[in-house]
Every structure is written in structure tokens, then in C-alpha cells.
Amino acid sequence: MKLLHTLFSINGRINRAGWWLLNTPIFLVFTISLITFDFPATEFLEQIQLLILLILACVHIVISAKRWHDKDKSAWWVLFHVIPLIVTVCVIAAKVSSEWWILIHLIAVFNGLWTCFELGIIKGTEGDNPYGPDSETSSESIIDVYISISGISSIIFVFGIFFFVFKEGAGFLFSGLDIWEFLTSEEWYPTSLNNKRYGTFALLLGTFSVTALAMLIAVPFGLGAAIFVSEFCSPKLKETFKIVIEFLAAIPSVVWGFIGLTLMNQLIIQVFNAPIGLTMLNGGIMLALMSVPIIVSIAEDALKAVPDSYREAAEALGATRWQVIYRVLLPAAKNGLLAAVLLGAARSIGETMAVLMATGHSVNIPNSPLSWIRTLTATIAAELGEVARGGEHYQVLFIIGILLFTITFVVNLIADLVIKGIRQS
Amino acid sequence: MNSNTDISAQTMFTETDIGRQNRFIENIVKIFFLIMTCLMILPLLLIIGYLFYKALPVLSFDFLFTNPIDNMRAGGLWAPFLGTIYLVVVSLLVAAPIGVFSAVYLNEYARDNWFTRIVNLAVVNLAGVPSIVHALFGVGAFVLFAGLGESILAASLTLAIMTLPVIIASTTEALKAVPMSFREACWNLGATRWQTIRRIVLPNSISGILTGVILQVSRAAGETAPIMFTGAVFYKAIAEGNPFAYNIFEQCMALSLHLYTISTQVPDVAEGIPYGTAIVLVGSVLLVNAAAIVLRVYLRTRKRW
């Protein structure tokens, strides 16, 4: 409510800093929307842009009115610079004949300069005035606006992601796509001329099998490393290990894919005597290496969260370190460890470049770790560049995106609830 | 493993069989976990060593400052390298203020209620959204809806939203580390909430905030999927040696996409070049990370509480 009061109520005062803080971005947005006027945009977009500009104009007027209050003048003074502005905009929009061009622009420039000088540079009255006390003139309310908007931006972005991905795929999702076939058929022939099939079962299976394999490798190592770092390490060694884990987490996924393509490929060919090394095993190892840092850091946090008194009590009873870990720590931290595994799995499911490059990328129901597979993410990455915008195939790729979003959303939600569960108990 | 509660008083201080056995088990366990940890660290060294060894023939000063030539089969990395810098800088300019303010909101403004919980959940989920879904979002929102087309701006905005949780997470950590008593002291002197944040909280947590910002840089530099369809192209010729060669409303090359292209899409690339690209990419990302770590360690030593 305070936010709305700041932005849309002319009551109160504001100082020069506040006026600039709010108006600079507004000016910027107006300038940018003038520059980007030529960009190909839909009619719907133009309406939204117009709406946003209108709201911003209102905010500008409100804030200027408050600034006049600060100078102990009536808010009606706003009209002195708003009316010329409106006239200018109308005249420009109406494309009046060119003799008036210079005069109109001169008025606009003079009006802008005068506004900036009058409202942005000249100080308000000292102390309280009829429009509000001096203490209210600080620009803090404007900063609060920015901080609040940033704070809720994550929500906006999450909804935005869902909305835009959904928007692109919705047409085909509700008319034409057989959802049952989409989820259970293993026939993925999106480019076939007369027999198009959009079955993602093989892709789903590919994603889940490679994730399962990755977790099979990563979970023991990740938890083992977390236990070692949290329970056996000296502080200095701990710091070193943490840095190494941070480095491991920082290696870009395309580099992991490249390693899979070159080093791991040759290794698998030689060790398993396989014809080609770009297999589920290859992708699984790459994903394991990528998700291990997440598992280690979250599992270590979970172990650290177990109170020291538990350890002391167990050791006082004569338990060895291993018994402490096995009987006390693991049960006490099991929720956090579960969350670590879930988040590691979510990372694996969402990973794109590494699996695109390392798993062979061929639609196939896997029957062994040495068979090649294809995942949901890799399919989008490989095919989105080649499809016609708006076509069925294009929309199906966005529907796969919705599927991926939903899967990771659910996994993350469960992990979050599991972690919250520990904090509350 | 079996219970050792039957150690009696007189044997307490001399080593019994059980005690020896326990110590033995403990050592085994310790070594086992140590090996597991080392098996994680080994690949890191191995991979960097391998890439470096293979890339050695092509690595030179010129490699970084010449354009790829001959359909990307030879030449250097100038265009992709500069493109990555553009993408990172623009995404940083967008993500850093929003991320820091967002964390300030969550830590200093938000009350502990359901709404804050939803915001936190949104941050967690934003971090968990797959990178390729971010790419789809970028295509839908920035390239098509906002009409930016495939451009550096569209790709950077996608990257910014993707890396936002990195900054939010580290900034929140940093803000939490500032003792509550600092704020209380400030409030008691009559400072407002923003004055407290501006004068006390932010200066005392600047190291953590910078770490987050640096980690965002490293994350953004390495990402491939989100920029593939929003602004990065396989090939674009630009002037060598001119750091302003790109226009943010046009497409650019990027190191990560370049590595993908030359290792999978282009046949007969000169042997060392993909390795050189990989080591430049890994090297820059790890250098940036190392900078974050050094900063963190340095500032921790000067911590005043």
C-alpha cells in the first residue's frame, strides 16, 4: 500500500533526489521505446507498451506534483509543464506540416529543460509546510519502491518463464496434440513428410536413465566427500576441498560435453571395446561430475546443521567415528541429504549441452549403459534452430519445455519442502 | 562395528582388542572417504591438464586476438571472445542491481510471512529451471514478444534472469553475516531503514556481494544453451582489435557456442583449436572464480567482528 501511495498519490512531498531517482528510469524507458519504435512488434505488444508508457506518465505527473508540494506550491503547477508536453506529443503524432517543426521542438526542449531545472535543481522549502512535514521529503520511499520491485522480481520471472514458454506451445497443446501419444509413444519423427509423430517416451526414458546413472555414480561420491569434508577434515584442508569443489562446479557444461566427446569417448571405446564411446555411460559420468558439487555442498550443509551435542553424546558413549556417522549423523541429517540428492538430480535433468554432445544423441530405448540415447533437453537444443517458427514441430519443442519446467519445478519444490521440514522440526 | 559398551573400567586406559579394532575401522573409513573425495578432485586436475596439453600447440597471444578463418577451421578466438565479454557485461549490468536489491528486500525488508516464503521459493525455482527452458523463455519473451530479435541484448537479458539467483544467494548470505546488533545500534541513533542499509549493512557485506557478482560473471560466461537461440551465432566477422566491434542490437559469437560448433558441427578443424577454445573458456571462468575466492579470503582476514 505504501508503494501505491508513493507512486500514485499526489499527497505528500518528495525531494530532488527522489524526483531524479524515479524520473531517470522513466525518461530512459521513454527514450528506449522511441528508439525501438522500428522493431517488428505485434499489435498486442504495442498496446502493452502504450499501457506501460501511460502508467509511467502518470507516475511522472504524480511525482512532479509532490515536488511542487515540496516547494510549497499547489499541485496544479504540474499543468504548466504537462500541457505543453501533451500538446507536443499530439502535434508530433498528428504529423503537422513541416514549417512548425522547429518551433514545436524548441517548445519541447525548453519545456523539458525548465522542468528539470524547476523540479530537479531548485530546493524545496525548509522545514514543514502545509503539504507535509519535512521528514517526509526523503527519497527513501522511492528507494523502497525499487527494492520492493526487485524483491518480487523472481516471482515475476518464474511466472514469466512459464507464461512465455506456455504461450509459444499452447496452440498445438490444446488442438492437435495427443497428450497420451506424446508421453507414451517412442516414435519421434517430427520432420517426416507424411507420417509426423511426436512421441517423447524415448526422450523421457533417455533423460531419466542418464539421470539415474549419473545419480548412481554421484550420490555415493558426493555423500562420501561431504562426510569427509564435514567430519574428518582439518579446517585448512576443508577450505582447500571446498575451493576445488567450487572450481568443479564452475566448469561450463559445454566443456564437460567436449570432454565427453574427446577424452571420455576414447576411454570408453578402449575400456569396453565399444564401437563408439558416445553413450549413456559417457553422459552419465559427465552429469555425475557436474552434479557432485551441488550434492557435496548441500549435503555438507545438512551435516553441519546437526548439533555438535549429538556427536559429543555419541562419542561419550564410546562410539567410533564411523558409528557416529552411521548411527547418528546420517539419520539426523537424512532430510538434508535427500534434498541434496534431489537437487543434484534436478541439475542432471535440466542439463543440456553435456548430454547433447556426449550421449550420442539418437532416439533409442536404452537397454544398457553402452547404448546411445537422447534426452528432452538435447532435443530442444538440437532442433529449435532448424524449425519453422510457429509450426507444429516448433510448438512441440516448447511443449517439451513446459514438461521440463514442470519436472524440475516439482523436484525443486519437493527438495525445498524437505529442507523446510528440517528447519521446522 | 559391534557395540563397545562392555569396556570395563580397568581396561579403559589400555588398548583393548575392541579399541584396536575400532581404531582400525575408523582409519579404514577415513581413508575410504578420503579416496572418494580425491576421486572427485582428480578429474578436475586431469581434465584441465589434458585440455592444456592438447591445446599447447595453438596457444599464443595471436590465438586470442585474431578472428576465426577458413570457415572456423583455423585462426583465433577474437570474435567469440569479445562476444562473450559483451554478453557477460550486459547481463551483469542488468542482473547485479536487481539481484542485490532483491536480496536486500528478502533480508532487510520482508517480514517472515507466506509472501516472503513464496518469494524465496521463486528464487529457488528460478535457480532450478533448466538452461534450455531459459532459452525457450528468451526466444518467447525477448526475441519475439519484446521484438528485440536475435541480439546481444536479448541473449544478455536471458542470461541475466538465469544468473540472478547466483547473485541473490550470495548477497543474502553476505547480508545475513552482518550482525543484527550493528543494525540495532544504527536504528537507535535514529537512522531510517535505508540509511542503515546504505551506511552499515552494505559496506559491511560488500565482499560477499562482490563474490556473488563475480560468480555470476563466471556462470554467464560459460552458458551455451540460453544464448544459442537468443543472440549467439555460429559465425560473424568483426574488426580485429576493436573492442567496440559489436552492436548490442545485433548478434555476436560466443566462446561457449564456438566450442560447441567447432567440435560438433564443423568437420576437419585443425587439431588443437577446439582444445585451445576449451582451455580459454575454462581458463577464463576459473580465473574469475579464483578472483572471487581470493577476494573472499582477503576480505575475511580484515573482518572487524
- Which residue is closest to B38 within chain A, CA to CA? A225
pLDDT per residue over B57-82, tens digit each? Answer: 888 888 888 888 877 777 888 889 99
- pLDDT confidence of B167, banded at 50, 70, 90? very high
| Residue appearing with cell numbers 583393548 | B16
Alpha helices in A175-259 (DSSP H): 179-184, 201-227, 235-250, 253-259
Nearest beta carbon to residue B289 from set A138, A158, A250 = A250
For chain B, what is the mean pLDDT?
86
Contact call for B137 and A160, based on CB within 8 A: yes
Nearest beta carbon to residue A158 from set B122, B221, B228 = B122
CA-CA distance, A345 to A212, in Å (whole number)? 8
A106 touches chain B (CB under 8 A): no
Q: What is the pLDDT along chain A (425 residues), one digit of tens a residue?
A: 677 777 888 788 888 888 888 888 888 887 777 666 555 556 776 777 788 888 888 888 888 888 888 888 888 888 887 887 777 777 766 666 666 677 777 877 888 888 888 888 887 777 777 777 776 666 778 888 888 888 888 899 999 999 999 988 888 888 877 788 888 888 888 877 777 888 888 899 999 999 999 999 999 989 999 998 888 888 888 888 888 888 888 899 999 999 999 889 999 999 888 888 888 899 999 999 999 999 998 999 889 888 999 989 998 988 888 888 888 999 988 888 999 999 999 999 999 999 999 888 888 888 888 888 899 999 999 988 888 888 888 989 999 999 999 999 999 889 888 877 766 65
Chain A residues 239-278 with CB within 8 Å of chain B: 241, 243-248, 250-255, 257-259, 261-263
Beta strands in chain B (DSSP E): 68-69, 74-75
- Which residue is closest to B256 within chain A, CA to CA? A254
CA-CA distance, A249 to A259, in Å (whole number)? 15
* For testing contact with chain B, the best of A140, A157, A167 (most B CBs within 10 A): A157
Contact call for A320 and B26, based on CB within 8 A: yes
State the nearest Cα–Cα gap between B242 and chain A, in angstroms.
Answer: 25
- Which residue is closest to B214 within chain A, CA to CA? A250
Burial class of A45 by CB neighbour count within 10 A (0 to 12, 13 to 18, 19+): middle
Beta strands in A247-318 (DSSP E): none
Give B-chain residues touching A246 at CB under 8 angstroms: 289, 293
Contact call for A412 and B124, based on CB within 8 A: yes
Calculated CA dihedral for residues B139, B144, B149, B151, nearest 10 degrees: -30
CA nearest neighbour of B191 among B110, B108, B116: B108
- pLDDT confidence of B1, banded at 50, 70, 90? very low
Whether the predicted pLDDT of B7 surpasses 70: no
Contact call for B140 and A413, based on CB within 8 A: no
CA-CA distance, A96 to B124, in Å (whole number)? 54
- Which residue is closest to A319 within chain B, CA to CA? B4
Q: Is B271 helix (H, G, I), strand (E, B) or coil?
A: coil
What does the pLDDT read at residue A210?
93
Contact call for A250 and B40, based on CB within 8 A: no
A188 bridge partner residues:
A198
- pLDDT confidence of B9, banded at 50, 70, 90? low
Contact call for B224 and A254, based on CB within 8 A: yes
* % of chain B at pLDDT higher than 90: 32
Contact call for A241 and B256, based on CB within 8 A: no
* For testing contact with chain A, the best of B21, B30, B40 (most A CBs within 10 A): B40
Beta strands in B31-167 (DSSP E): 68-69, 74-75
Contact call for A45 and B110, based on CB within 8 A: no
- Which residue is closest to A39 within chain B, CA to CA? B147
- The whole-number average pLDDT for the span B176-188 is 90
What does the pLDDT read at residue B164?
93
Contact call for B98 and A252, based on CB within 8 A: no
Give B-chain residues touching A232 at CB under 8 angstroms: 30, 33-34
**Does the interface predicted TM-score (ipTM) exceed 0.85?**
yes
What does the pLDDT read at residue A37?
58
Contact call for A150 and B105, based on CB within 8 A: yes
State the nearest Cα–Cα gap between A147 and chain B, in angstroms.
Answer: 5
Give the A:B interface size as CB pairs under 8 Å: 280
Contact call for B4 and A385, based on CB within 8 A: no
State the nearest Cα–Cα gap between A55 and chain B, in angstroms.
Answer: 18
CA-CA distance, B124 to A414, in Å (whole number)? 11
What does the pLDDT read at residue A422?
60
Contact call for A150 and B98, based on CB within 8 A: yes
- The whole-number average pLDDT for the span B279-305 is 84
Give how far Cα B251 sits from Cα of A209, B234, B264, Å. Answer: 36, 10, 21
Give A-chain residues touching B54 at CB under 8 angstroms: 262
Whether the predicted pLDDT of B249 surpasses 80: yes
Contact call for A250 and B274, based on CB within 8 A: no
CA-CA distance, B170 to A406, in Å (whole number)? 26
- Cell numbers placing A355: 548430454
